[in-house]
Amino acid sequence: MNDDRDDLFDAALRQRLQRDAEPDDAGFSLRVMAALPAPAAPRRRARLLRRVQWVAISLAACGAASLLVSPVDTAHMLAGAALLALLIFWTVPSRWSRG
């Protein structure tokens, strides 16, 4: 039942959009778009820093995985847990990590 109503509505809307020209807003949209500031391009340094962060996160993930899979001893488990905590901290966007 809903599919029939949706199909009818879609057909009516498509017909209306094809028949009518775009509404005239007397240049309002163009004035609003002209008043908006230009989007800022990402800085080269910011892109480089983001790539370095991703490499560090990837290396930390590999290190944590190798430490957690190795024979169970307390030092390895603590090191793996510390790397996991750093990984989580680096990947969660926050006021301090700007991720």
Give the whole-angstrom CA distance, residue 63 versus residue 12. 59
The helix, strand and coil proportions of the chain, stated in percent and rounded to the nearest 5, come to 70, 0, 30
Most confident of 14-23, 47-56, 90-99: 47-56
pLDDT band at residue 86 using 50, 70 and 90 as cut-offs:
confident
- pTM, full prediction: 0.40
Burial 55-73 (b: 16+ CB within 10 A, else e): eeeeebeebbeebeeeeee
Task: Kindly list the domain boundaries of the chain, sorted by start residue.
Answer: 2-91
DSSP for residue 40: P
